[in-house]
Amino acid sequence: MTKYFLSVLLCYCLIFSAHSATYRFGVTPWQKGQSEDSINHHYRKMLNYLTKETGDQYIIVSARDYQQMIDFLADGKVDFASISPVPYVLAKQINPGIQLLVTEMSWDKAHETLTDSYMGYFVTKKSRDDINSLADLNMKRFGFVKKESSSGYKYPNALLKEQGLDYETYFSRHYFLGSHPRVTDAIASGSIDAGATWDFNLSQATKKHGDVFKIIFTTPPIPNLCIAAHSSLPAEKADRIRNALISIDTDLLEGLPAGGYVIRPDSFYDVVRNVALGNKT
């Protein structure tokens, strides 16, 4: 009986391994102020869970910036990826076959309700009594993140244009600092007067620097990051990953901005397309 059981188990393992595969998971540098090892550690718990649920193996591919993640997903250098909203719509513009798997759910500011959108902010220091509104930023030093960033550039730029303002002439100086933590670090140190960031980074920056920031302008809600797949990922695999993620234990997401995942249609990101492609604000 024991020999028979072992034989059956061996056959099962051989069949299982024959149908398993290794997939590349791309990580968007949403919080590049953290070390790559730290970000990979947070995602590894989620990917270990996916291995258990799907039988496949997953390796992490880190992008150095937003543009590289767009290229990775559009060109199939990753099979699926966690990707910010503007990079997602830009990648899908290049490769319409990219498929949306799930949208992140995140906690609201009070950490009471999960939401499928997040907020972008114009932030300065609380000690800056001279800066309390958008009008007070005239001829001040302002920090953006990167031109591919949703809350770090695309939305702020669109909102400035809506007010008839050109950031190249409205601010005395403007900088593209490369990551959200660098923006809030620069505000805290006083090397810039204000900057653009998002709610998750602002909460992280407050833990790092203390309660030194104040919000002077808020964007409309921005659809959350999503997990999207290259067109080459088999539909059956995409469905398995999608179904596993919407059922994931939130403890496995500790350290990530996600508090869970939900299925949303691609049209959910149309508002981002309008901003990213300059159709409207």
- Cα-flanking dihedrals φ and ψ of residue 231, to 5°? -65, -20
What average pLDDT score do residues 183-211 get? Answer: 95
Distance in angstroms (rounded) separating the CA atoms of residues 96 and 106: 27
Whether 261 shows a pLDDT value over 90: the answer reads: yes
- The 8-class DSSP code of residue 154 comes to I
Return the pLDDT at 7. 47
- Read off the tokens for 251: 């403890």
Query: Domain 21-112+223-276's class?
Result: alpha beta
Half-sphere exposure of 172 (CA within 13 A, CB side): 9
Q: Where are the domains of the chain?
A: 21-112+223-276, 120-218
Q: Are strands 226-229 and 99-107 parallel, antiparallel or unpaired?
A: antiparallel
**Residues of the chain with pLDDT > 70: what percent?**
86
Question: Could you tell me the maximum CA-CA distance found in the chain, to the nearest angstrom?
Answer: 83
Among 39, 73, 43, 75, smallest CA distance to 59 is for: 43
pLDDT reading at 198 higher than 80: yes
| The pLDDT of residue 52 is above 70 | yes
pLDDT of residue 264: 97
Please compute the mean of the pLDDT values over residues 226-247 and round it to a whole number: 96
> What dihedral angle (degrees, nearest 10) is formed by the CA atoms of 152, 227, 98, 16?
160
CATH number of 120-218: 3.40.190.10
Average pLDDT over residues 7-17: 44
Are domains 21-112+223-276 and 120-218 of this chain identical in fold? yes
pLDDT, mean of residues 8-29:
64
**pLDDT higher than 50, residue 8:** no
Sign of CA dihedral 50, 51, 57, 61: positive
Residue 83 has pLDDT above 90, yes or no: yes
**DSSP secondary structure code for residue 252 in this structure:** G
| pLDDT-based confidence at residue 65 (cuts at 50, 70, 90) | confident
pLDDT at 37: 65
**What pLDDT, on the 0 to 100 scale, is given for residue 121?**
96
User: Between 200 and 28, whose confidence is greater?
Assistant: 200
- The predicted structure's pLDDT at residue 254: 86
Which residues does residue 62 pair with via DSSP β-bridges, in sequence order? 27
Alpha-helical runs (H) found in 120-277: 155-162, 167-170, 180-189, 199-209, 235-245, 270-276
Q: Tell me the two tokens of residue 101.
A: 């798997």
Write down the mean pLDDT value for the chain. Answer: 88
Give the dihedral sign, CA 91/142/217/202: positive
- Count CB-CB contacts under 10 A for residue 40: 17
67 token code pair? 């543009």
- Name the CA radius of gyration of the chain, rounded: 21
What is the percent of the chain where pLDDT is above 90? 68
CA 55 to chain centre: 26
In the predicted structure, residue 12 carries a pLDDT above the cut 50: no
pLDDT above 90 for 196: yes
CA 145 to chain centroid? 13
